[in-house]
Structure 1
Amino acid sequence: MRREQRLADAVVELTDTLVKDFDVTDQVTLLAERCTEFVDVTAAAVMVASGEAGRWTSATAGASADLFDVLTLARLEGPVLGSYRTGEPVGPMGLTGAARRWPAFAAAVQRVGYRQVCSVPIRLREEVLGSVLLLHAEADPMPASEVRLVQTLATAAAIGHVHEREVRGQSLVVTQLQTALHGRVLIEQAKGILATRLDTDVNAAFELMRGHARRHRRRILEVARHVVEKRALPDFPAKRPGHSHAR
C-alpha cells in the first residue's frame, strides 16, 4: 500500500472514536505508533492531560529503553509542557539547547540514549489536549515537513477525542431530558386521573398529590406513578421517627 494511502487511513483511524468502548489510552497508543511509523524518529511518547491537576494519560512507541523518568520530568519541565501551554511546536532541538532550558529533562533524555527532542501540541483550534514528544537517537535536525506531518496526526487525534466527548455529553443531556419528559407526562396523567375520580380540576388534583407527597416525605413522581397504576393516592406506611426519604 502506498504511503499516502496508509497516512490517509491513519487519519481516519485517529478520528474514528464513535465506538461503544472508546478508551483514550487506546487512542494515545495509536497516535504514538503512527508517529513512529510515518516519521523518521526513534521513539514517540503521547501525553494527554486527564482533566485532573497533574494527571496525564501517556503511551509510547518505538522506545528501546524505559522512558519513565523522561515522562515523569516531562510533566514538570521540557518541550511537552511548553507545547501544551502555548499550543505551538517546541523544537526540534539537540540536547545542548534543551539542557540550557530544562537541565533535568535533558539529562534524563541523554541517559536513555536520545540526542534530539521535539514536541507538538494535540490541539483542536484553541483547545490543547496534550502533546506528542518525539525522541531521536540521531543528532541531525528533524525536517520541518516531518514536524508538520506529526502535527496533522495529532490534530486528527484531537478531532476524534473532542468529537467523542461532545457526542457523549449530548447523549447524557438527551437521556436527562427524556427522563424529565417522562416524569412530566406521568404527573400530567396522574392529575387527570385524580381530577376525574374526585370530580375536581387538575390544579386541585396536583396540589392534592403534592401535599400527600410532602406529608409522607415522598417524591411526587412516586405518588403520580401510584395514581396512574392504582387509580388512587398511595397509602404509605407511617414513618419511623428520624427516618426521611431522599427527595
Structure 2
Amino acid sequence: MSREQHIVRTFLELADTLVEDFDIIDFLHQMTVRCQELLDVTDAAVFLAHPGPHLHSPAPCDPGPGLQRVLDTACLQGPALEAHRTHRSVTALDEAETAARWPEFAQHRQAAGYTLATALPMRLRRNNIGSLLLLRTGHKPLGADDLSLAQALADAATIGLLQARTIRQQHTVHEQLHTALQSRILIEQAKGVLAARQNITLNEAFDAIRQHARHHRLLLSDVARDVIDNRLTPAPAAAQPHTTEADAE
C-alpha cells in the first residue's frame, strides 16, 4: 500500500463514527497508531477536554511507565494543554524554555527519552474538544508537510467525534420520548382500570393516581403499573391525605 493510499484509508477510518457499535477508545487508539505510521513521530496521544481546567488522555495500549508519566503530566501542563487553550499548534523545542514554562513536563519528557513535543488543537468552529500530542526522539522538527497532515488528521478526528456525540444525544432524546410515550399509555390504561373498579370518572381516577404518587413520592408510571398488575386501588383524591411541606422535605 502506498503512503497516499494509507492516508486515504486513515481519513475514511476517522470518518466512520456513525456505526451503532462505535467505540471511542478504539477510535482514539487507531488515531494514535495512524499518526505513528504516517508521521515522523515516535509516539502520539489524544487529549480530550474535561469539565474543569485540565485535559484527560485515554492512554494508548500498554504504554511504558515513561510515556505514561509524560501523558499524566501533559494533562496538567505542557504543549497539549497550551494548544487546547490557545487553539493553535505549540512546539516544545528549546530545553531551557520548556523547563522554564513546564518544569514537570520537561522533566518527564526528558526522562522518557523524548526530545521534541508538538501539540495541535482539536477544534471545529466553537467546539474545542482537546488536542493531539506528537512526541519524537530525534532532534529535527516536524516538517511543514507532516504538520499539515497532522492537523488534517486532528480535524478529521474532531469532526468524527462530534458526529458520534450528536448521534448519541439524538438517541438519548429518542429514548426519553419513547419512555414518555410508553408511560403515558400505561397511565391511560391505569385510569380506565381504576375508573371501572371504583365507578368514578377518568379525571377522578387520574387525580387519585397522581395524589397517591405524590403522597408516597412515587412516579406516576410506577403507580399506574401497580394499579394494573397488582390491583392497587388508590382512594379518590379527596379521601387521600394531602402532601404537606413536611412530607416534601
Deviations 1:136-179 (A, max 9, x none): 22222222221121111112222222222222222122112211
Give the corresponding residue for 1:34: 34
1:206 counterpart residue number: 206
Return 204-213 or 132-141, whichever deviates more.
Answer: 204-213
State how far apart, in whole Å, the 1-side matches of 2:104 and 2:217 are.
62
Q: Where does residue 184 of structure 1 map in the other structure? A: 184
Which amino acid is the alignment partner of residue 44 of structure 1? A
1:147 maps to what in 2? 147
SS of residue matched to 1:59: coil
Please report the TM-score for the alignment, with normalisation by the length of structure 1.
0.77
Aligned position for 1:173: 173
Structure 2: distance between partners of 1:216 and 1:36: 60
Q: Which amino acid aligns with 1:234?
A: T
Kept after mapping to 1: 8 A contact 2:47/2:55: no
Q: Counterparts of 2:126 and 2:217 in 1: how far apart (Å)?
A: 49
Cα distance change on mapping 1:105 and 1:216 into 2, 3 Å:
closer
Change (3 A) 1:64 1:214: closer
- Judge conservation of contact 2:48–2:57 (CA < 8 Å) in 1: yes
Number of equivalent positions: 234
Distance 2:170 2:83 in 1: 30
Runs of 4+ displaced beyond 6 Å = none
Separation (CA, whole Å) in 1 of partners of 2:128 and 2:134: 17
Contact 2:66 2:108 in 1 (8 A): no
In structure 2, the residue matched to 1:127 is 127
C-alpha distance in 2, partners of 1:188/1:174?
21
- Report the Cα distance in structure 1 between the residues aligned to 2:46 and 2:213, rounded to whole angstroms: 54
**Which whole-Å CA distance do the structure 2 matches of 1:78 and 1:193 have between them?**
66
- 8 A Cα contact 1:48 1:56, kept in partner: yes
Rounded Cα–Cα distance in structure 2 between residues aligned with 1:58 and 1:197: 58
> 1:40-55 alignment to 2 at 5 Å?
40-51=40-51, 54=54
8 Å CA contact retained: 1:95, 1:116: no
Distance in 2 (alpha carbons) for counterparts of 1:30 and 1:183: 42
What's the counterpart of residue 114 of structure 1? 114
Name the aligned partner's letter for residue 169 of structure 2.
G
Q: Pairwise mapping of residues 4-23 of structure 1 onto structure 2 (< 5 A)? A: 4-23=4-23
Question: Cα offset for 1:89?
Answer: 0.8
Identity %: 42
Residue 79 of structure 2 corresponds to 79
Deviation at 1:80, TM superposition (A): 1.0
Looking at structure 2, the residues matched to 137 and 179 of structure 1 have their Cα atoms a distance apart, in angstroms, of 54
Query: Relative to 1, partners in 2 of residues 1:177 and 1:114: Cα closer, same or farther, differing over 3 Å?
Result: same
- Displacement of 1:39: 1.0
Q: How many Å apart are 1:37 and its aligned residue?
A: 1.0
* Equivalent position SS for 2:180: helix
Deviations 1:44-84 (A, max 9, x none): 232224446656233358x8883133223222321111001
Residue type of the partner of 2:162?
V
Structure 2 unaligned blocks of 5 or more: 236-249
Q: For the Cα contact (< 8 Å) 1:122–1:132, is it kept in 2?
A: yes
Give 3-state SS (helix, strand or coil) of 1:113's partner. Answer: coil
CA contact (8 A) 1:43 1:60 kept: no
Aligned counterparts of 1:169 and 1:89: Cα–Cα separation in 2: 30
State the one-letter code of the partner of 2:143: P
**Structure 1 counterpart of 2:70:** 70
Equivalent residue for 1:234? 233
Letter in 1 for 2:16: D
Local SS of the residue matching 2:58: strand
What is the rounded CA distance, in whole Å, between the counterparts of 1:141 and 1:7 in structure 2? 21
How far, CA to CA, are the matches of 1:190 and 1:64 in structure 2? 60
